[in-house]
Structure 1
Amino acid sequence: MNLRCLIVDDEQAALNVLTNYISKTPFLELAGAFTDPIAALEVIYKEQIDIVFLDIHMPEISGLEWIKLLRGKSKVILTTAYSQYALDGYNLDVVDYLLKPVPFDRFLHAVQKVQDILTVKPIATPEPVPVPVAPAASSDHVFVKVDSKIMKVRFQDILYIEGLGNYVSIFTETGRLVTLSTMKEVEEYLSDTYFMRVHRSYIIAFNRVEYIEGNQIFLNKNTNVPLGETYRERFFKLLEESMMNRK
Protein backbone atom coordinates (compact mmCIF):
# COMPACT_ATOMS: atom_id res chain seq x y z
CA MET A 1 0.00 0.00 0.00
CA ASN A 2 1.41 3.39 -1.01
CA LEU A 3 1.10 6.15 1.59
CA ARG A 4 0.35 9.67 0.35
CA CYS A 5 2.40 12.36 2.10
CA LEU A 6 2.37 16.11 2.65
CA ILE A 7 5.29 18.17 3.90
CA VAL A 8 4.54 21.40 5.79
CA ASP A 9 7.58 23.49 6.68
CA ASP A 10 8.45 27.16 6.24
CA GLU A 11 12.09 26.31 5.38
CA GLN A 12 12.74 25.35 1.78
CA ALA A 13 15.86 23.39 2.75
CA ALA A 14 13.78 21.15 5.02
CA LEU A 15 11.22 20.63 2.24
CA ASN A 16 14.02 19.58 -0.10
CA VAL A 17 15.45 17.03 2.33
CA LEU A 18 12.12 15.35 3.02
CA THR A 19 11.11 15.46 -0.66
CA ASN A 20 14.32 13.59 -1.46
CA TYR A 21 13.71 11.02 1.28
CA ILE A 22 10.14 10.38 0.09
CA SER A 23 11.34 9.90 -3.50
CA LYS A 24 13.77 7.21 -2.29
CA THR A 25 11.11 5.29 -0.33
CA PRO A 26 9.09 2.93 -2.58
CA PHE A 27 5.88 2.91 -0.54
CA LEU A 28 5.63 6.70 -0.19
CA GLU A 29 4.03 9.14 -2.63
CA LEU A 30 4.45 12.91 -2.30
CA ALA A 31 1.12 14.72 -2.65
CA GLY A 32 2.54 18.17 -1.95
CA ALA A 33 5.17 20.26 -0.15
CA PHE A 34 4.03 23.53 1.43
CA THR A 35 5.57 26.51 3.14
CA ASP A 36 2.03 27.80 3.72
CA PRO A 37 0.28 25.71 6.43
CA ILE A 38 -3.19 27.03 5.56
CA ALA A 39 -2.83 25.94 1.93
CA ALA A 40 -1.76 22.51 3.18
CA LEU A 41 -4.91 22.24 5.31
CA GLU A 42 -7.07 22.88 2.26
CA VAL A 43 -5.46 19.90 0.53
CA ILE A 44 -5.99 17.72 3.62
CA TYR A 45 -9.71 18.52 3.67
CA LYS A 46 -10.11 17.68 -0.04
CA GLU A 47 -7.84 14.67 -0.51
CA GLN A 48 -6.82 11.46 1.23
CA ILE A 49 -3.47 12.13 2.90
CA ASP A 50 -1.91 9.41 5.04
CA ILE A 51 1.14 11.16 6.51
CA VAL A 52 1.96 14.79 7.23
CA PHE A 53 5.56 15.76 7.96
CA LEU A 54 5.01 18.88 10.02
CA ASP A 55 7.35 21.56 11.33
CA ILE A 56 6.50 23.12 14.71
CA HIS A 57 7.90 26.66 14.31
CA MET A 58 6.03 28.42 11.51
CA PRO A 59 5.22 32.15 11.29
CA GLU A 60 1.45 32.05 10.68
CA ILE A 61 0.45 29.16 12.93
CA SER A 62 2.41 26.75 15.11
CA GLY A 63 2.56 23.11 14.15
CA LEU A 64 0.87 22.13 17.42
CA GLU A 65 -2.09 24.42 16.69
CA TRP A 66 -2.18 23.11 13.12
CA ILE A 67 -2.58 19.54 14.39
CA LYS A 68 -5.74 20.57 16.25
CA LEU A 69 -7.20 21.93 13.00
CA LEU A 70 -6.30 18.66 11.28
CA ARG A 71 -8.96 16.86 13.36
CA GLY A 72 -7.28 13.47 13.04
CA LYS A 73 -7.58 13.26 9.25
CA SER A 74 -3.95 12.14 8.81
CA LYS A 75 -1.08 10.67 10.81
CA VAL A 76 1.47 13.30 11.83
CA ILE A 77 5.25 13.07 12.12
CA LEU A 78 6.73 16.20 13.66
CA THR A 79 9.98 17.58 12.25
CA THR A 80 11.68 20.10 14.51
CA ALA A 81 14.99 21.38 15.77
CA TYR A 82 13.56 21.64 19.30
CA SER A 83 13.36 18.40 21.30
CA GLN A 84 11.43 20.04 24.17
CA TYR A 85 8.24 19.95 22.09
CA ALA A 86 8.15 16.16 21.94
CA LEU A 87 5.87 15.93 24.99
CA ASP A 88 3.38 18.36 23.48
CA GLY A 89 3.35 16.31 20.29
CA TYR A 90 2.71 13.10 22.18
CA ASN A 91 -0.25 14.69 23.92
CA LEU A 92 -1.69 15.37 20.45
CA ASP A 93 -1.13 11.75 19.35
CA VAL A 94 1.58 12.33 16.78
CA VAL A 95 3.17 9.12 15.51
CA ASP A 96 6.77 10.26 15.95
CA TYR A 97 8.99 13.31 16.03
CA LEU A 98 12.18 13.80 14.05
CA LEU A 99 14.93 16.14 15.14
CA LYS A 100 16.54 18.23 12.40
CA PRO A 101 18.78 17.55 10.62
CA VAL A 102 16.79 14.37 9.98
CA PRO A 103 18.87 11.25 9.23
CA PHE A 104 17.42 8.97 6.55
CA ASP A 105 17.39 5.88 8.79
CA ARG A 106 15.40 7.78 11.44
CA PHE A 107 13.00 8.99 8.74
CA LEU A 108 12.45 5.39 7.61
CA HIS A 109 11.80 4.23 11.15
CA ALA A 110 9.09 6.87 11.57
CA VAL A 111 7.28 6.11 8.31
CA GLN A 112 7.40 2.39 9.03
CA LYS A 113 5.53 3.12 12.26
CA VAL A 114 2.76 4.73 10.23
CA GLN A 115 2.79 1.86 7.76
CA ASP A 116 2.33 -0.63 10.61
CA ILE A 117 -0.54 1.39 12.05
CA LEU A 118 -2.39 1.78 8.74
CA THR A 119 -1.76 -1.63 7.22
CA VAL A 120 -4.63 -4.05 7.77
CA LYS A 121 -3.13 -7.44 8.45
CA PRO A 122 -4.70 -10.64 7.02
CA ILE A 123 -6.93 -12.58 9.39
CA ALA A 124 -4.56 -15.55 9.27
CA THR A 125 -1.69 -13.46 10.59
CA PRO A 126 -1.43 -13.66 14.38
CA GLU A 127 -1.43 -10.31 16.12
CA PRO A 128 1.92 -9.26 17.55
CA VAL A 129 2.24 -9.66 21.29
CA PRO A 130 3.96 -6.50 22.40
CA VAL A 131 4.12 -6.33 26.07
CA PRO A 132 4.45 -9.63 27.24
CA VAL A 133 3.51 -12.99 27.79
CA ALA A 134 1.54 -12.33 30.95
CA PRO A 135 3.72 -12.62 34.05
CA ALA A 136 2.60 -14.09 37.35
CA ALA A 137 1.42 -11.59 39.96
CA SER A 138 4.67 -12.00 41.89
CA SER A 139 6.85 -11.61 38.81
CA ASP A 140 9.57 -8.97 38.77
CA HIS A 141 9.80 -8.67 34.99
CA VAL A 142 7.94 -8.66 31.68
CA PHE A 143 8.82 -9.84 28.19
CA VAL A 144 8.36 -7.40 25.31
CA LYS A 145 8.62 -7.86 21.57
CA VAL A 146 11.06 -5.38 20.04
CA ASP A 147 11.47 -5.75 16.28
CA SER A 148 12.35 -9.45 15.79
CA LYS A 149 13.42 -10.05 19.39
CA ILE A 150 11.53 -10.89 22.57
CA MET A 151 13.35 -9.15 25.40
CA LYS A 152 13.18 -9.51 29.16
CA VAL A 153 12.73 -6.22 31.01
CA ARG A 154 13.04 -6.14 34.79
CA PHE A 155 10.66 -3.85 36.63
CA GLN A 156 13.53 -2.44 38.68
CA ASP A 157 15.24 -1.20 35.49
CA ILE A 158 12.26 0.80 34.18
CA LEU A 159 12.12 4.57 34.70
CA TYR A 160 8.87 5.24 32.87
CA ILE A 161 6.69 4.15 29.98
CA GLU A 162 5.37 6.50 27.32
CA GLY A 163 2.37 5.79 25.12
CA LEU A 164 2.12 6.91 21.53
CA GLY A 165 -0.98 5.64 19.73
CA ASN A 166 -0.57 1.91 19.18
CA TYR A 167 3.00 1.92 20.47
CA VAL A 168 4.71 2.31 23.81
CA SER A 169 8.27 3.30 24.62
CA ILE A 170 9.85 1.72 27.70
CA PHE A 171 12.62 3.92 29.08
CA THR A 172 15.34 2.41 31.27
CA GLU A 173 18.65 3.75 32.56
CA THR A 174 20.38 2.26 29.54
CA GLY A 175 18.01 3.12 26.70
CA ARG A 176 14.58 2.96 25.09
CA LEU A 177 12.57 -0.04 23.86
CA VAL A 178 9.67 0.53 21.44
CA THR A 179 6.98 -2.12 21.17
CA LEU A 180 3.52 -2.41 19.62
CA SER A 181 0.98 -2.05 22.42
CA THR A 182 -1.47 0.35 24.05
CA MET A 183 -1.20 1.96 27.47
CA LYS A 184 -4.27 0.02 28.62
CA GLU A 185 -2.62 -3.27 27.70
CA VAL A 186 0.58 -2.25 29.48
CA GLU A 187 -1.31 -1.38 32.66
CA GLU A 188 -2.89 -4.83 32.73
CA TYR A 189 0.52 -6.51 32.91
CA LEU A 190 2.45 -4.15 35.18
CA SER A 191 2.56 -4.59 38.92
CA ASP A 192 0.77 -1.88 40.92
CA THR A 193 3.53 -2.31 43.49
CA TYR A 194 6.04 -0.75 41.11
CA PHE A 195 4.10 1.46 38.72
CA MET A 196 1.52 4.22 38.54
CA ARG A 197 -0.29 5.99 35.71
CA VAL A 198 0.32 9.73 36.07
CA HIS A 199 -0.82 11.00 32.67
CA ARG A 200 -2.78 9.79 29.66
CA SER A 201 0.56 9.06 27.99
CA TYR A 202 2.81 8.16 30.94
CA ILE A 203 3.29 5.43 33.52
CA ILE A 204 6.14 5.86 36.00
CA ALA A 205 8.06 3.62 38.36
CA PHE A 206 6.89 5.21 41.62
CA ASN A 207 10.06 4.40 43.56
CA ARG A 208 12.06 6.35 40.94
CA VAL A 209 10.43 9.68 41.84
CA GLU A 210 13.08 12.17 43.03
CA TYR A 211 10.94 15.29 43.38
CA ILE A 212 7.84 17.08 42.08
CA GLU A 213 7.83 20.65 40.83
CA GLY A 214 4.58 22.16 39.58
CA ASN A 215 3.00 19.61 37.26
CA GLN A 216 6.30 17.88 36.49
CA ILE A 217 7.53 14.66 38.12
CA PHE A 218 11.32 14.34 38.09
CA LEU A 219 12.75 10.83 38.01
CA ASN A 220 16.30 12.17 37.90
CA LYS A 221 17.83 15.55 37.13
CA ASN A 222 17.52 15.04 33.37
CA THR A 223 14.24 13.10 33.18
CA ASN A 224 10.78 14.43 33.93
CA VAL A 225 7.23 13.62 32.87
CA PRO A 226 4.00 15.62 33.18
CA LEU A 227 1.43 14.95 35.90
CA GLY A 228 -2.05 14.95 34.37
CA GLU A 229 -4.93 16.61 36.21
CA THR A 230 -6.99 13.39 36.16
CA TYR A 231 -4.24 11.47 37.98
CA ARG A 232 -3.11 14.22 40.35
CA GLU A 233 -5.27 13.36 43.40
CA ARG A 234 -4.37 9.66 43.37
CA PHE A 235 -0.67 10.42 42.87
CA PHE A 236 -0.45 12.79 45.84
CA LYS A 237 -2.49 10.42 48.00
CA LEU A 238 0.02 7.66 47.32
CA LEU A 239 2.87 10.10 47.87
CA GLU A 240 1.40 11.13 51.22
CA GLU A 241 1.04 7.49 52.27
CA SER A 242 4.65 6.89 51.31
CA MET A 243 5.78 9.85 53.41
CA MET A 244 3.84 8.56 56.43
CA ASN A 245 5.34 5.10 56.04
CA ARG A 246 8.83 6.49 56.39
CA LYS A 247 8.13 8.05 59.81
Structure 2
Amino acid sequence: MTNTNPEYINCLIVEDEPLSQEILESYIDNCPELKLCSTCKDAIQANAILHNESIDLIFLDINMPILNGIEWLKSLDQGFEVIFTTAYSEHAVEGFNLNALDYLLKPFSFDRFLKAVNKFMVLKKNQEINQSVTSKTIWVKSNKKSYPIKLSELAYIESDGDYLKLYMDEKPIIIHETLKHFISKLPNTVFMKIHRSFVINITKVEYLEGNQVSLASKMIPLAASYREEFYKAIEKNEQV
Protein backbone atom coordinates (compact mmCIF):
# COMPACT_ATOMS: atom_id res chain seq x y z
CA MET A 1 0.00 0.00 0.00
CA THR A 2 1.04 3.60 -0.52
CA ASN A 3 2.87 5.28 2.33
CA THR A 4 0.46 8.01 3.38
CA ASN A 5 3.03 9.93 5.41
CA PRO A 6 2.58 13.53 4.17
CA GLU A 7 6.36 13.98 4.25
CA TYR A 8 6.69 11.58 1.32
CA ILE A 9 6.03 12.24 -2.35
CA ASN A 10 4.36 9.12 -3.72
CA CYS A 11 5.89 8.27 -7.10
CA LEU A 12 5.01 5.99 -9.99
CA ILE A 13 7.36 4.93 -12.79
CA VAL A 14 5.75 4.12 -16.15
CA GLU A 15 8.59 2.84 -18.32
CA ASP A 16 8.99 -0.22 -20.55
CA GLU A 17 12.81 -0.33 -20.72
CA PRO A 18 14.34 -2.40 -17.87
CA LEU A 19 17.56 -0.34 -17.72
CA SER A 20 15.64 2.94 -17.55
CA GLN A 21 13.42 1.44 -14.84
CA GLU A 22 16.49 0.52 -12.79
CA ILE A 23 18.03 3.99 -13.16
CA LEU A 24 14.85 5.75 -12.07
CA GLU A 25 14.36 3.36 -9.17
CA SER A 26 17.95 4.02 -8.04
CA TYR A 27 17.51 7.80 -8.30
CA ILE A 28 14.26 7.71 -6.34
CA ASP A 29 15.85 5.47 -3.71
CA ASN A 30 18.52 8.13 -3.20
CA CYS A 31 15.94 10.85 -2.51
CA PRO A 32 14.59 10.45 1.04
CA GLU A 33 11.55 12.62 0.30
CA LEU A 34 10.43 10.30 -2.52
CA LYS A 35 8.50 7.05 -2.06
CA LEU A 36 8.27 4.66 -5.00
CA CYS A 37 4.84 3.05 -5.03
CA SER A 38 5.21 0.95 -8.15
CA THR A 39 6.98 0.49 -11.49
CA CYS A 40 4.82 -0.26 -14.54
CA LYS A 41 5.83 -1.26 -18.04
CA ASP A 42 2.74 0.13 -19.82
CA ALA A 43 -0.36 2.29 -19.47
CA ILE A 44 -2.65 -0.63 -18.61
CA GLN A 45 -0.62 -1.52 -15.53
CA ALA A 46 -0.39 2.16 -14.60
CA ASN A 47 -4.17 2.56 -14.77
CA ALA A 48 -4.58 -0.22 -12.23
CA ILE A 49 -2.12 1.48 -9.86
CA LEU A 50 -3.82 4.87 -10.18
CA HIS A 51 -7.14 3.24 -9.39
CA ASN A 52 -5.86 1.90 -6.06
CA GLU A 53 -3.07 4.26 -5.01
CA SER A 54 -2.72 7.97 -4.29
CA ILE A 55 0.07 9.15 -6.60
CA ASP A 56 1.70 12.58 -6.45
CA LEU A 57 4.34 12.33 -9.19
CA ILE A 58 4.70 10.14 -12.28
CA PHE A 59 7.90 9.56 -14.23
CA LEU A 60 6.42 8.77 -17.62
CA ASP A 61 8.13 7.40 -20.71
CA ILE A 62 6.65 8.50 -24.02
CA ASN A 63 7.52 5.62 -26.33
CA MET A 64 5.73 2.62 -24.88
CA PRO A 65 3.79 -0.34 -26.29
CA ILE A 66 -0.02 -0.37 -26.52
CA LEU A 67 -0.43 3.35 -25.74
CA ASN A 68 2.29 5.98 -25.70
CA GLY A 69 2.76 8.24 -22.70
CA ILE A 70 1.33 11.37 -24.32
CA GLU A 71 -1.86 9.67 -25.49
CA TRP A 72 -2.28 7.98 -22.13
CA LEU A 73 -1.89 11.26 -20.27
CA LYS A 74 -4.50 12.91 -22.50
CA SER A 75 -7.00 10.24 -21.45
CA LEU A 76 -6.65 10.97 -17.73
CA ASP A 77 -8.14 13.43 -15.28
CA GLN A 78 -4.94 14.56 -13.64
CA GLY A 79 -4.63 14.63 -9.89
CA PHE A 80 -0.85 14.34 -10.06
CA GLU A 81 2.21 15.91 -11.70
CA VAL A 82 4.15 14.37 -14.59
CA ILE A 83 7.83 14.36 -15.52
CA PHE A 84 8.34 12.92 -19.00
CA THR A 85 11.33 10.70 -19.74
CA THR A 86 12.26 9.90 -23.34
CA ALA A 87 15.15 9.54 -25.77
CA TYR A 88 13.52 11.83 -28.35
CA SER A 89 13.72 15.59 -27.90
CA GLU A 90 11.06 16.27 -30.54
CA HIS A 91 8.41 15.23 -28.03
CA ALA A 92 9.29 18.05 -25.64
CA VAL A 93 6.90 20.67 -27.02
CA GLU A 94 3.88 18.37 -26.95
CA GLY A 95 4.83 17.22 -23.47
CA PHE A 96 4.91 20.77 -22.13
CA ASN A 97 1.63 21.54 -23.89
CA LEU A 98 0.13 18.91 -21.59
CA ASN A 99 1.45 20.89 -18.60
CA ALA A 100 4.18 18.39 -17.82
CA LEU A 101 6.31 19.53 -14.91
CA ASP A 102 9.57 18.75 -16.69
CA TYR A 103 11.13 16.76 -19.51
CA LEU A 104 14.11 14.44 -18.95
CA LEU A 105 16.02 13.52 -22.08
CA LYS A 106 17.68 10.10 -21.83
CA PRO A 107 20.32 9.48 -20.69
CA PHE A 108 19.97 11.97 -17.83
CA SER A 109 22.17 12.41 -14.77
CA PHE A 110 21.17 12.29 -11.13
CA ASP A 111 21.73 16.06 -10.92
CA ARG A 112 19.30 16.65 -13.78
CA PHE A 113 16.83 14.31 -12.09
CA LEU A 114 17.12 16.33 -8.86
CA LYS A 115 16.40 19.57 -10.71
CA ALA A 116 13.15 18.08 -12.00
CA VAL A 117 12.19 16.82 -8.54
CA ASN A 118 12.97 20.23 -7.07
CA LYS A 119 10.41 21.78 -9.42
CA PHE A 120 7.82 19.53 -7.84
CA MET A 121 8.97 20.49 -4.34
CA VAL A 122 8.64 24.20 -5.14
CA LEU A 123 5.21 23.65 -6.67
CA LYS A 124 4.03 21.64 -3.66
CA LYS A 125 5.27 24.28 -1.23
CA ASN A 126 3.50 27.08 -3.12
CA GLN A 127 0.26 25.08 -3.22
CA GLU A 128 0.42 24.42 0.52
CA ILE A 129 1.00 28.12 1.22
CA ASN A 130 -1.91 29.13 -1.00
CA GLN A 131 -4.24 26.55 0.54
CA SER A 132 -3.31 27.69 4.05
CA VAL A 133 -3.85 31.33 3.16
CA THR A 134 -7.11 30.98 1.27
CA SER A 135 -8.69 28.80 3.98
CA LYS A 136 -8.82 31.86 6.25
CA THR A 137 -11.84 34.08 6.87
CA ILE A 138 -11.95 37.81 7.56
CA TRP A 139 -14.90 39.92 8.75
CA VAL A 140 -16.12 43.12 7.09
CA LYS A 141 -18.88 45.62 7.85
CA SER A 142 -21.46 46.72 5.30
CA ASN A 143 -24.66 48.65 6.04
CA LYS A 144 -24.25 48.14 9.80
CA LYS A 145 -23.94 44.38 9.36
CA SER A 146 -20.87 42.17 9.69
CA TYR A 147 -20.10 39.53 7.06
CA PRO A 148 -17.58 36.68 7.04
CA ILE A 149 -15.48 36.66 3.86
CA LYS A 150 -13.70 33.46 2.92
CA LEU A 151 -10.49 34.41 1.15
CA SER A 152 -10.80 31.31 -1.03
CA GLU A 153 -13.99 32.82 -2.49
CA LEU A 154 -12.77 36.40 -2.83
CA ALA A 155 -11.88 36.89 -6.51
CA TYR A 156 -11.01 40.58 -6.63
CA ILE A 157 -11.52 43.97 -5.00
CA GLU A 158 -12.48 47.12 -6.87
CA SER A 159 -11.82 50.55 -5.38
CA ASP A 160 -14.16 53.53 -5.79
CA GLY A 161 -12.88 56.38 -3.64
CA ASP A 162 -13.37 55.46 0.02
CA TYR A 163 -15.53 52.48 -0.88
CA LEU A 164 -14.65 48.97 -2.00
CA LYS A 165 -16.55 46.28 -3.85
CA LEU A 166 -15.60 42.77 -2.78
CA TYR A 167 -16.38 40.31 -5.57
CA MET A 168 -16.98 36.69 -4.67
CA ASP A 169 -19.00 33.84 -6.12
CA GLU A 170 -22.19 35.77 -5.44
CA LYS A 171 -23.04 39.50 -5.68
CA PRO A 172 -20.37 41.93 -4.37
CA ILE A 173 -20.31 43.34 -0.87
CA ILE A 174 -19.71 47.09 -0.64
CA ILE A 175 -17.74 48.36 2.33
CA HIS A 176 -16.56 51.80 3.49
CA GLU A 177 -12.78 51.39 3.52
CA THR A 178 -9.78 52.47 1.48
CA LEU A 179 -7.98 49.98 -0.73
CA LYS A 180 -4.65 50.69 0.95
CA HIS A 181 -6.03 49.80 4.39
CA PHE A 182 -7.87 46.70 3.19
CA ILE A 183 -4.83 45.33 1.35
CA SER A 184 -2.92 45.33 4.65
CA LYS A 185 -5.30 42.62 5.91
CA LEU A 186 -4.69 40.31 2.93
CA PRO A 187 -1.86 37.80 2.42
CA ASN A 188 0.42 39.14 -0.31
CA THR A 189 1.30 35.64 -1.48
CA VAL A 190 -2.14 35.34 -3.05
CA PHE A 191 -3.62 38.83 -3.38
CA MET A 192 -1.86 41.52 -5.38
CA LYS A 193 -2.54 44.93 -6.83
CA ILE A 194 -2.50 45.04 -10.64
CA HIS A 195 -4.09 48.47 -11.12
CA ARG A 196 -4.65 51.52 -8.94
CA SER A 197 -8.29 50.43 -8.53
CA PHE A 198 -7.99 46.63 -8.49
CA VAL A 199 -6.54 43.90 -6.28
CA ILE A 200 -6.93 40.32 -7.47
CA ASN A 201 -6.67 36.80 -6.11
CA ILE A 202 -4.05 35.28 -8.43
CA THR A 203 -5.40 31.76 -7.84
CA LYS A 204 -8.64 32.89 -9.52
CA VAL A 205 -7.06 34.04 -12.80
CA GLU A 206 -8.75 32.37 -15.77
CA TYR A 207 -6.62 33.72 -18.63
CA LEU A 208 -4.62 36.70 -19.86
CA GLU A 209 -5.46 38.68 -22.99
CA GLY A 210 -3.24 41.59 -23.94
CA ASN A 211 -3.04 43.92 -20.96
CA GLN A 212 -6.09 42.46 -19.27
CA VAL A 213 -6.68 39.67 -16.76
CA SER A 214 -9.84 37.57 -16.77
CA LEU A 215 -11.31 36.31 -13.52
CA ALA A 216 -14.87 35.84 -12.28
CA SER A 217 -16.00 36.43 -15.89
CA LYS A 218 -14.67 40.00 -15.88
CA MET A 219 -11.75 41.59 -17.74
CA ILE A 220 -9.59 43.65 -15.37
CA PRO A 221 -6.90 46.05 -16.63
CA LEU A 222 -3.27 45.19 -15.91
CA ALA A 223 -1.40 48.46 -15.48
CA ALA A 224 2.13 48.74 -16.89
CA SER A 225 3.60 49.65 -13.50
CA TYR A 226 2.38 46.35 -11.99
CA ARG A 227 3.03 44.09 -14.98
CA GLU A 228 6.47 42.77 -14.08
CA GLU A 229 5.49 41.95 -10.51
CA PHE A 230 2.30 40.28 -11.71
CA TYR A 231 4.10 37.97 -14.15
CA LYS A 232 6.60 36.99 -11.47
CA ALA A 233 3.75 36.11 -9.11
CA ILE A 234 1.98 34.06 -11.77
CA GLU A 235 5.18 32.19 -12.60
CA LYS A 236 5.78 31.42 -8.93
CA ASN A 237 2.20 30.31 -8.40
CA GLU A 238 1.83 28.11 -11.49
CA GLN A 239 2.69 24.48 -11.86
CA VAL A 240 6.21 25.71 -12.98
For the aligned pair, the TM-score class normalised by the smaller chain equals 0.5 to 0.7
The aligned amino acid for 2:111 is D
Correspondent of 2:224 among 137, 145, 162: 137
Shift, 1:54, TM fit: 0.3
Query: Does the residue aligned with 1:70 lie in a helix, a strand or coil?
Result: coil
Indicate how the Cα distance of structure 1 residues 114 and 167 shifts in structure 2: closer, same or farther if over 3 A, else same. farther
Conserved? CA contact 2:42–2:65, under 8 Å: no
1:1-247 equivalences in 2 (<5 Å): 1-119=7-125, 120-121=128-129, 123=133, 127=189, 137=224, 142=228, 168=235, 180-182=236-238
Query: Does the residue aligned with 1:19 lie in a helix, a strand or coil?
Result: helix
Query: Does the residue aligned with 1:7 lie in a helix, a strand or coil?
Result: strand
* Whole-angstrom CA distance in 1 between matches of 2:85 and 2:47: 17
The number of residues matched between the two structures is 151
Conserved? CA contact 1:44–1:73, under 8 Å: no
Indicate how the Cα distance of structure 1 residues 126 and 9 shifts in structure 2: closer, same or farther if over 3 A, else same. same
Shift, 1:128, TM fit: 8.9
Q: Name structure 1 gaps, 5 residues minimum.
A: 147-165, 169-179, 184-247
* Whole-angstrom CA distance in 2 between matches of 1:21 and 1:167: 31
The aligned amino acid for 1:77 is I
Conserved? CA contact 1:41–1:70, under 8 Å: no
Shift, 1:33, TM fit: 0.8
The aligned amino acid for 1:137 is A
Structure whose alpha-carbon radius of gyration is higher: 2
Q: What CA RMSD, in Å, does the superposition of the two structures yield over aligned residues?
A: 3.4
* Whole-angstrom CA distance in 2 between matches of 1:35 and 1:167: 36
* Whole-angstrom CA distance in 1 between matches of 2:28 and 2:99: 22
Conserved? CA contact 1:56–1:64, under 8 Å: yes
Shift, 1:38, TM fit: 0.7
Q: Deviations over 1:152-195 (max 9, x none)?
A: xxxxxxxxxxxxxx975xxxxxxxxxxx2559xxxxxxxxxxxx
- When normalised by structure 2's length, the TM-score is 0.54
* Whole-angstrom CA distance in 2 between matches of 1:33 and 1:144: 40
User: Which contiguous aligned blocks of 4+ residues in structure 1 show a shift greater than 6 angstroms?
Assistant: 143-146
Shift, 1:116, TM fit: 2.2
Q: Percent identity?
A: 39
* Whole-angstrom CA distance in 1 between matches of 2:8 and 2:73: 23
Shift, 1:34, TM fit: 1.2
Query: Does the residue aligned with 1:6 lie in a helix, a strand or coil?
Result: strand
Conserved? CA contact 1:5–1:29, under 8 Å: yes
The aligned amino acid for 2:62 is I
Q: Deviations over 1:172-224 (max 9, x none)?
A: xxxxxxxx2559xxxxxxxxxxxxxxxxxxxxxxxxxxxxxxxxxxxxxxxxx
The aligned amino acid for 2:189 is E
Query: Does the residue aligned with 2:75 lie in a helix, a strand or coil?
Result: helix
